[in-house]
Structure 1
Amino acid sequence: MDNATRYIRPAGRIEPMMNKFFNLLPKLGISVAGSRLLAVRGRKSGEWRTTMVNVLTADDGNRYLVAPRGHTQWVRNLRVAGEGELRLGRKIESFKGIEVADELKVPLLRLYLKNWGWEVGKFFEGITKDSTDEELAGIAPGFPIFRLT
């Protein structure tokens, strides 16, 4: 699988059940390590699609969404819709998503791994917050990132 099409599906029986449980938490107003429920309109159906995400706040104050599983359905939908919502309980924050160029991803991937490597490290296949800039740049195309505005 090349980095431009990299996508890791939830596997087995346990992971999809765990995803449903963790997607329920933001609906109830419970944030795990800063998580939110991402809502984006489906590119074909136009219906709202939701999934839990970690919102990364960079040192410069900008906020980002990183797709640790790669070019997922939410990534494809956000590319088409250009906007979405971050939900936590009854609080809804609308945003526009601007995709980050691969050459700008290294510090964002490093910070994301520093904050959530314990949770998503398995999707990075041996790359950690301590990996070299060259190693992080090498995987960058397989990890879409959007700046929130």
Structure 2
Amino acid sequence: MSEQAVHVQKPGWVTVNVFNRAVAWLTRRGISVWGSRILAVRGRKSGQWRRTPVNLLTFGGERYLVAPRGHVQWTYNMREAGGGRLLLGRRVEEFTAAELGDDEKVPVLRAYLKRWKAEVGVFFGGVGPNSSDEELRAIAPRHPVFRLTSGQER
């Protein structure tokens, strides 16, 4: 899928300048807000570490990262790098990541929306945790989902 062909809904000013910054600030100090972490992943072009706040979902004994805003820079970088680091204060956890196929995403998207719909629901075009499997499957191609396998914590 080409980067130019994918529509990404940009977050609003309040989300970027107030909410994301507040959550990132707390997370960097070791306070998780509903599963928040700082994702660090190497840039696919620069090789430099890039950081962004994310919501870490634990579901069915597995851990996932969902891209509510769609195919964004961290998702392209994750595909290239195959993993990264999750930061919570001074705690650093390395992980590998495997991207789910669209059919596998339905229960994960439902669980993600059940937990964070108030925060990210606007990015899912009216689809929520009570939507049908068909509705969730229809939006699945627009929202990358990665299953994480823990590596080493330091």
Give the aligned partner of residue 112 of structure 1. 112
Shift of 1:147: 0.4
Tell me how far apart the structure 2 counterparts of residues 48 and 129 of structure 1 sit (CA, whole Å).
Answer: 33
Tell me how far apart the structure 1 counterparts of residues 23 and 9 of structure 2 sit (CA, whole Å).
Answer: 18
- Partner AA of 1:109 in structure 2: L
Shift of 1:92: 0.4
User: Structure 1: which 4+ aligned runs deviate by more than 6 Å?
Assistant: none
Is the CA contact 2:23–2:36 (under 8 Å) kept in the aligned structure 1? no
Give the aligned partner of residue 6 of structure 1. 7
Tell me how far apart the structure 1 counterparts of residues 71 and 115 of structure 2 sit (CA, whole Å).
Answer: 21
The structure with higher relative contact order (CA 8 Å, sep 6+) is 1
Tell me how far apart the structure 2 counterparts of residues 89 and 126 of structure 1 sit (CA, whole Å).
Answer: 34
Give the aligned partner of residue 29 of structure 2. 28
Structure 2: unaligned runs, 5 residues or longer: 150-154
Give the aligned partner of residue 46 of structure 2. 45
Give 3-state SS (helix, strand or coil) of 1:49's partner. strand
Structure 1: unaligned runs, 5 residues or longer: none
Give the aligned partner of residue 93 of structure 2. 93
TM-score (norm 1): 0.92
RMSD: 1.2
1:143 aligns with 2:127: no
